[in-house]
């Protein structure tokens, strides 16, 4: 069931937040030893949060758009009273005295945080093999990596441990593991989501964004965490975009560019089937009414070295 449908079921009293949580905790118990998506699972804290959601529903209150939805948070975002390690022994045992803004917004929306997810140490990696606390496996094929650095967050969604999770993206750390794990991942526009409480990697590039199993759920989570935050000097001083209202709008009239240097033979190491899927996606967008054009960004070939 999607996060949207779960939240609707909890708000309407069809499902209890506690029963939703227990189903996901059972899934974690069954496969987490194999996958290792989490650095910590917050079983008791999550149960207390779910019970509070159920109390509010029983009292006639609306807990919010993510009522009772289990979520996971990458372990480089501060969580008050809960260790934040960045998957490094250097920070082992450090307990932040405050929540990151995105963590506060999750709680305000009624989400239930079930744990902190594994990552490459200090988010510096692309496979989630470089964690001081062990390797994360890809739920689709445990002989493969989930990507990184937000591999734990991607794996948690792909394995069905949670419908939604948060990652951070500097140079692909949401988008790449989303692709490898077969889920939806979005790096938002810079400044759309507050970075307050995110342990920095490269502040001019870092952004927090959602993982989900559907585009609709990713849009819902992005709406929840977006919006101006005076605690982040780079935060855009605008209200969050209404993404839900445009989900069914279609692509007719859009102009979409395919970067020649990323789709042709200029860059080495791009698998043939990846190129084929890109071509299929472009053709599908064109058939749906978009204009697809090839464009050139010659400096792309220096991107990885510069990064």
What is the DSSP secondary structure assignment for residue 164, as one 8-state letter?
Answer: E
Q: What is the pLDDT of residues 64-109, one digit of tens each?
A: 999 999 999 999 999 999 999 999 999 999 999 999 999 999 999 9
Asked if residue 79 lies in contact with residue 73, where contact means CB atoms within 8 angstroms, the answer is yes
Is residue 116 part of the annotated active site? The answer reads no
Asked if residue 77 lies in contact with residue 102, where contact means CB atoms within 8 angstroms, the answer is yes
DSSP 210-265: EEESSHHHHHHHHHHHBS--TTSTT--SSPPP--GGGTTS--TT-EEEEEHHHHSS
CATH 3.90.1300.10 fits 3-246, yes or no: yes
Given a cut of 90, whether residue 305 has pLDDT beyond it is: no
* 3-state class percentages of the chain: helix first, strand second, coil last, to nearest 5: 40, 15, 45
At 158 the pLDDT is 99
Is residue 187 part of the annotated active site? The answer reads no
How far is residue 88's CA from residue 91's CA, in Å, rounded to a whole number?
6
pTM of structure: 0.94
- Cα 51 to its chain centre, rounded Å, is 25
Mean pLDDT over 126-154 rounds to 98
Q: What is the pLDDT of residues 161-215, one digit of tens each?
A: 999 999 999 999 999 999 999 999 999 999 999 999 999 999 999 999 999 999 9
User: Of residues 16, 74, 87, 126, which has the active-site annotation?
Assistant: 74
At 268 the pLDDT is 67
How far is residue 156's CA from residue 154's CA, in Å, rounded to a whole number?
5
User: Of residues 173, 194, 226, 235, which has the active-site annotation?
Assistant: 173
CA distances from 136 to 151, 156, 162, 207 (A): 7, 10, 16, 22
Query: Strand 255-259 relative to strand 112-117: parallel, antiparallel, unpaired?
Result: unpaired
Which residues fall within 8 angstroms of residue 148, CB to CB, at 6 or more apart?
A: 119, 120, 125, 126, 127, 128, 129, 130, 173, 176, 177
At 266 the pLDDT is 56
At 272 the pLDDT is 83
| Residue ranges per structural domain of the chain | 3-246, 255-306
At 300 the pLDDT is 84
User: Of residues 16, 87, 131, 149, which has the active-site annotation?
Assistant: 149
Tokens of 199: 């342990």
């Amino acid at each position: 069931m999607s996060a949207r449908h779960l939240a609707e079921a909890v708000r309407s009293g069809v499902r209890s937040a506690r029963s939703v949580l227990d189903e996901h905790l059972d899934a974690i118990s069954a496969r987490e030893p194999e996958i290792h998506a989490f650095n910590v699972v917050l079983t008791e804290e999550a149960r207390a949060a779910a019970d509070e959601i159920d109390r509010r529903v029983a009292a006639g209150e609306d807990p919010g758009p993510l009522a009772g939805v289990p979520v996971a948070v990458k372990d480089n975002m501060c969580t008050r009273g809960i260790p934040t390690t960045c998957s490094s022994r250097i920070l082992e045992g450090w307990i932040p005295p405050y929540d990151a803004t995105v963590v506060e917004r999750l709680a305000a929306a009624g989400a239930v945080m079930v744990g902190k997810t594994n990552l490459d140490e200090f988010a510096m990696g692309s496979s989630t093999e470089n964690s001081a606390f062990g390797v994360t496996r890809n739920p689709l094929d445990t002989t493969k990596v989930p990507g990184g650095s937000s591999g734990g967050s991607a794996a948690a969604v792909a394995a069905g441990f949670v419908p939604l999770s948060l990652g951070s993206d500097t140079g692909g750390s949401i988008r790449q593991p989303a692709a490898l794990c077969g889920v939806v991942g979005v790096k938002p526009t810079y400044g759309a989501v507050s970075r307050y409480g995110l342990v920095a990697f490269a502040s001019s590039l870092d952004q927090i964004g959602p993982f989900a199993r559907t585009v609709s759920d990713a849009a819902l989570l992005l709406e929840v965490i977006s919006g101006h935050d005076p605690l982040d000097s780079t935060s855009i001083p605008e209200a969050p975009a209404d993404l839900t209202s445009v989900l069914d709008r279609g692509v007719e009239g859009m102009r979409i560019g395919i970067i020649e240097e990323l789709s042709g033979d200029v860059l080495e190491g791009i698998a043939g089937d990846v190129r084929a899927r890109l071509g299929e996606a472009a053709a599908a967008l064109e058939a749906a009414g978009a204009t697809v054009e090839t464009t050139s960004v010659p400096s792309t070939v220096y991107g990885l070295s510069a990064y």
